[in-house]
Amino acid sequence: MSEKNLRDIPPFLHSLAEKWDMEMIRVVLQAGLAREAAEILTKAAGPHNPRLHHAIKTLVVSINLSGEALLKAKGWKREDLWEIEKEIELKWKEQNRILDKEGNVLH
């Protein structure tokens, strides 16, 4: 895998490129970022803003439909995308863990 192809994903995820297609990794990363952004926007909207909640829900549905269309167009398996998501989450936790003086994981 060339360095150019790895530039747009965090270095701690580069090892995933040995197993998975880079485009699949990018799609899973973008979907995760969109999901996180939607959660943040929903919390920021508060409970008394139904129009904003509806707009956020509409955006999420649109992203999901686009993802489904891409999945079908590329002939990807949903299970593979779920596996990539699990691997990204595991690598993220490994990257962001906090160790005590003895090397035990605190967080």
Domain total of the chain = 1
Q: Is residue 89 part of a domain?
A: no
Q: What residue numbers bound the domain in which 25 lies? A: 19-81
Give per-residue pLDDT as tens, 4-28: 577 888 888 889 988 999 999 999 9
Q: Is residue 27 part of a domain?
A: yes
φ, ψ at 80 (rounded to 5°): -65, -40
Instruction: Specify whether the CB–CB gap between 6 and 18 falls below 8 A.
Output: no
Q: Is residue 40 part of a domain?
A: yes
Q: Is residue 41 part of a domain?
A: yes
Read off the pLDDT band of 40 (50, 70, 90).
Answer: very high
In which residue are the tokens 């939607």 written?
38
Q: Is residue 57 part of a domain?
A: yes
Q: Is residue 7 part of a domain?
A: no
Q: Is residue 61 part of a domain?
A: yes
Give per-residue pLDDT as tens, 61-101: 998 899 899 999 999 999 999 999 999 989 888 877 666 66
Q: What distance in Å separates the CA atoms of residue 16 and residue 18, rounded to the nearest whole number?
A: 5
Give pTM, 2 decimals: 0.76
Q: Is residue 47 part of a domain?
A: yes
